[in-house]
Amino acid sequence: MKVLLINGSPHQNGNTSIALSEFARTLKDEGIDSETLWIGNKPVRGCIACNRCKEKSGRCAFDDDICNSISARFAGADALVVGSPVYYGQPNGALLSIIQRAFYSNGNDIAGKPAAAIAVCRRGGATAAFETLNLPFQMMNMPLVTSQYWNIVYGREPGQASLDQEGLQTMRALAHNMAWLLKSTNGKPAPGRGDEPWTPMHFIR
């Protein structure tokens, strides 16, 4: 089994990477592979609600950034972990754009698979960013993997996250819980709605 990790920081080897690496090392000890994808620091497009992805077999209509490269990994992953720095109490905007576009264009390949979010911050706003990252998972029937605390690691300057002993312990506990869930389900996605047709209800008719 394999867990896909997304590093949503513009700094490839910053504090978000430290948190994800601690998770990945523990996961490896559990006998589960992982792959980390960095979103990079180049411009990322936001969704323009064109719906053209529905004509492109699971690919966003915009093919000039990393979004499609990330969503192409969904099918081969048994679970997803997304890590982000905190900006003004929110996740990195580029990461949110990628998640929104990837889930909308290729959500069937990730739906029902376990997921977890990790927020990395200097001081405050982490819980709000953490909640924001979890919202798309819940809409995709993805079981949320928990830890001994909210999945938060602290650090401002590069490398300071390695000094947050409780934060790193939280990452290890998260990895153990992820491994337990994957092994307990043999990597099988949650059934979600199953064969029951979706019944959308619009409040303005």
Summary mean pLDDT of the chain: 96
Residue 196 lies in a domain: no
Domain that holds residue 19: 2-185
Q: Distance between CA atoms of 111 and 105, rounded to whole angstroms?
A: 12
Residue 104 lies in a domain: yes
Looking at residue 189, its pLDDT comes to: 95
> Taking 90 as the threshold, does the pLDDT of residue 199 lie above it?
no
Residue 17 domain-assigned (yes or no)? yes
Say how far apart CA 197 and CA 17 lie, in whole Å: 40
Residues of the chain with pLDDT > 70: what percent? 99
Query: Per the structure, how many domains does the chain have?
Result: 1
Assign residue 145 the CATH number of its domain: 3.40.50.360
Task: List the single range of 49-53, 62-66, 83-87, 195-199 with lowest mean pLDDT.
Answer: 195-199
107-157 pLDDT tens trace: 999 999 999 999 999 999 999 999 999 999 999 999 999 999 999 999 999
Average pLDDT over residues 97-104: 98
Give the pLDDT mean for 43-55.
Answer: 95
Buried b vs exposed e over 140-164: b needs ≥16 C-beta within 10 Å? bbbbebebeeebbbbbeeeebbbeb
Structural tokens at position 48: 């323009």
Identify the pLDDT of residue 205: 66
In a domain, 164, yes or no: yes
Q: Is the dihedral of CA 5, 107, 115, 125 positive or negative?
A: positive
pLDDT tens digit string along 173-187? 999 999 999 999 999
Residue 18 has pLDDT above 70, yes or no: yes
**Residue 114 belongs to some domain of the structure:** yes
Residue 190 forms part of a structural domain? no
Q: 126-139 vs 93-106: helix axis angle to the nearest 10?
A: 10
Q: What is the pTM of this model?
A: 0.95
Residue 61, pLDDT > 80, answer yes
Q: Let me know: does 134 contact 165? Beta carbons within 8 Å.
A: no
